[in-house]
Amino acid sequence: MSLSVLRLHHSTLRPSLIRRLTQCRNYSSKPPDYAFAFDIDGVLLRGRTPLPGATKSLRKLQDNHVPFILLTNGGGKHESERTAELSRLLDVPITEDMFIQSHTPFKGLVGRYNSVLAVGGEEVGEGEGWKNDKIGKSGEGGVREVAERYGFKSVHTPHTLLHHHPEIWPFGCPQLHNNLHHPSSPEHPHHHPPPLSPIDAILVFNDPRHWGPTLHVIIDLLLSARGELGTYSTTNGVEVPGKGKYQNNNQPDVWWSNNDLWWQGEYHLPRLGQGGFRAAVEGVWSKITDGEELRATTIGKPFKETYAYAESVLNNLLKKDMGEQARVKRVYMVGDNPRSDIMGANGYGWYSLLLETGVFNRDREGGEAALKDDMKPRQILKNVEEAVDFGMSKGGTS
């Protein structure tokens, strides 16, 4: 990776991090034959606070020229914004080609869908920038801006649909209205919802901040005719050959960017993630449709496509500096969630390392005894520093 491709602004980085930007990636003639992939929440960070040993471990890998990526089921921000944020928090240079979040593959859907509903993450008025009077700058348009920067032409969010039809959510929510009509920045482009148009796809980028109105909007669209908000398909409940009783009238496709039930934030107990919201949507859908399964596509960890993409990224990082012959023989997946990090790593042939600093806890849900089959890691370690030391001591040999 040459310095010319770095997208971080030196003005936002500590002097120590700027020095490391000029020092890293100078491989010796003999590159390592192994690499690391790290989850973020519960592995490197808890909330916005680095976990003990996180910065030291990443610096150790860079000092020893060992390639690594951050592979997270988190999201809701554009990759450029998130990597700049992570670089500041961890005091380690993280660039876009070292970072994969769950919805990154949504970029490949741009040519398929014209109008999308982007769900989850922060919307206009909810980001840190709004609290700090940085309104109007890049990255403060929330998930709508992320989808537009990916290349989608017409992007709605639950907020923008509520702007057109506030009666969708009968209980009212002044915060949702105020976010769209923030007095500090009336000229912000994302204060102007796009015109209503049929929704071709529902793309869930991240955990929704407002489950109730978001769930209502999704259900309304799934029962609509051709994705037109406010309509009700006449074929709902009617068996259509080859299409079933529901989702049979050009309703929007549904894409989940991950299926994590839990994630580790600043609170000492795990919080429900996108998988929790998905369970809520599917539960309501089953009740409405008398047991019909919601047809949808899921990406992210633990699905093999995500790991295949991640391994290709690691190999490209090595080849970029060392030539086409360089190849990673072993990848150490360092994670805290047995159902995503560990299951996915085991399923793809990576070496799985489970940490005790996040979702997994020996005193909950059966502890280590519950880790069976694909959820059983190769090693359980206390923290990320132990994981890096373990992997570096083993290297890429079998």
Encode the chain (398 residues) as per-residue pLDDT tens digits: 333 333 334 444 555 554 454 444 443 446 688 999 999 999 999 999 999 999 999 999 999 989 999 999 988 899 999 999 999 999 999 999 999 999 999 999 999 999 999 999 876 545 444 344 343 344 456 899 999 999 999 999 998 898 888 899 888 765 555 554 444 444 555 557 788 899 999 999 999 989 999 999 999 999 999 999 999 999 999 999 999 999 999 999 999 999 999 988 889 999 999 999 999 999 999 999 999 999 999 999 999 989 999 999 999 988 887 778 888 999 999 999 999 999 999 999 999 999 999 999 887 767 788 898 999 999 999 999 999 999 999 988 65
Distances, alpha carbon 228 to alpha carbons 20, 21, 51, 232, 361, in Å: 51, 49, 46, 9, 45
CB of 338 closer than 8 Å to CB of 352: no
Q: Where are the alpha helices (DSSP H) in the chain?
A: 15-23, 54-63, 79-90, 128-131, 142-150, 158-164, 174-180, 211-222, 274-288, 304-322, 343-348, 384-394
Integer Cα distance of 86 and 77 in angstroms: 12
**Which SS3 state, helix, strand or coil, does residue 338 take?**
helix
Phi, psi dihedrals of residue 256, rounded to the nearest 5°: -100, 135
3 state DSSP class of 48: coil
Which one of 2.60.40.10, 3.40.50.1000, 3.40.50.300, 3.40.50.150 gives the CATH number of domain 50-101+302-335+347-394? Answer: 3.40.50.1000
Nearest CA-CA partner of 297 in 287, 309, 286, 306:
306
Q: Where exactly are the structural domains of the chain?
A: 50-101+302-335+347-394, 104-298
Q: What is the identity of the amino acid at 161?
A: L
Strand order from edge to edge, sheet including 330-335: 99-101, 68-72, 34-38, 330-335, 351-355, 379-381
User: In this structure, which amino acid lies at residue 100?
Assistant: I
d(CA 264, CA 381): 17
Do 50-101+302-335+347-394 and 104-298 come out as alike in CATH topology? yes
Total residue count of the chain as it appears in this document: 398
Which of 3.90.580.10, 3.40.50.1000, 3.40.50.12240, 3.40.640.10 would CATH assign to domain 104-298? 3.40.50.1000
Q: Which two tokens stand for residue 160?
A: 């923008």
Structure tokens at 373: 């089959």
